[in-house]
Amino acid sequence: MEQSALLSIENLTVRYGKDTALQIESPIIIEEGDRVGIIGSNGAGKSTLIKSILGLVHYEGSIHTRLQMEQIATHMQFNEYTDAMPTKYIMEAILQTKISRSQKLRDLIDYFDFGDCLRKKYSRLSGGQRQRFTIIMVMMQDAPLTFYDEVTSGLDFEARQKLVEKLTSWYRDRDSSLCIVSHYYEELEQLADKLLILDKGHVIDYGQKEDLFRKYCGRAVIVLNNSVENEQLFCSYEKLASPAHLIALPCETEEKEKELTALLLAHNKNYTRSSTDIEMIYANAKKAFLERQGKECEL
């Protein structure tokens, strides 16, 4: 394992009964300063991966880290705390500091508008308030490696935006590594520089976001609404896999992009251009993976 690597995973298998929940064959390396977005549909193995790293589930294979378990911070989807005392005292007991003595803790409480919740018991907190409580606890650790599992779940759009901005700012100049499980691709656009793509327990691909985009989508992608008129206009052009309500046109060369753009402008069409679209990466990486699986089955 390279000196800069915090975590190395290889030949990992997790089974629940007779079912294989996760299988990783090629090495997955997380290095200092990495920002890894972990994506995949429900049942892809995202949470199982985190639980394996934390030693919460039995696995076969190799997980190596030079960190102690207390140097890994984790935000899980579901967290439960005692209901015998107000959250203020739970927070102080776990963090082993008084709120009055920690400026950083007070700043986080103020930023997440949690001050009015400190005297509430945990069971009295709403879903969003519980998320904010746990996020504050995690961010206070300043751990070398942090996992966030659906960190914005239960938050409304404005709160999600605010949290993502805070996370982006918090980790911008830090060497610590960050792994985020999320189904909100726009959040990962801001937070992740690497992607780990999972599907039904298998690794579809792992690498730098820009490299994966070029691999599966090309130099750039032009996206417009899927309509009968737009479908007819671009019926002779190659299309990428995309959500049903969209048409995605790959631009392998600058000349191809100029050709498509001229056609769009001539017909007064609205469109967007992207060179890092994570949703497009996922859709086309999954398509390529399934095609490979189909060919292997035929063989």
Which burial class, exposed, middle or buried, applies to 230 when counting CB atoms under 10 A from its CB (0-12, 13-18, 19+)?
Answer: middle
Structure tokens, 185: 């691709």
What average pLDDT score do residues 49-70 get?
Answer: 91
Count of residues for the chain?
A: 299
Per-residue pLDDT of 117-176, as tens digits, reads: 999 998 888 878 888 898 899 989 889 999 998 888 777 888 788 888 888 888 888 888
Is 70 exceeded by the pLDDT of residue 297? no
Structure tokens, 40: 């995949």
| Cβ 43 vs Cβ 200: under 8 Å | yes
Per-residue pLDDT of 181-190, as tens digits, reads: 998 898 899 9
Per-residue pLDDT of 181-218, as tens digits, reads: 998 898 899 999 999 999 999 999 999 999 999 999 99
Percent of the chain having pLDDT more than 70? 95
Kindly tell me the sign of the dihedral angle through the C-alpha atoms of 205, 207, 208, 212.
negative
Is 90 exceeded by the pLDDT of residue 115? yes
User: At 60, is the secondary structure helix, strand, or coil?
Assistant: strand
Is 60 exceeded by the pLDDT of residue 78? no
Averaged confidence pLDDT in the chain = 89
Task: Please report which confidence band the pLDDT of residue 2 belongs to, taking 50, 70 and 90 as the band edges.
Answer: very low
pTM: 0.87
| Cβ 246 vs Cβ 225: under 8 Å | yes
The whole-angstrom separation of Cα 174 and Cα 18 is 42
Beta strands in the chain (DSSP E): 5-16, 19-24, 28-31, 35-39, 60-65, 72-75, 145-149, 177-181, 194-199, 202-208, 220-225, 246-251, 272-274
Per-residue pLDDT of 206-253, as tens digits, reads: 999 999 999 999 999 999 999 999 999 999 999 999 999 999 999 999
Amino acid identity at 78: F
What average pLDDT score do residues 5-29 get?
Answer: 93
What average pLDDT score do residues 4-12 get?
Answer: 88
What pLDDT, on a 0 to 100 scale, did the predictor assign at position 224?
A: 95
Question: Which residue in 126, 194, 121, 128 sits closest to 159, CA to CA?
Answer: 128
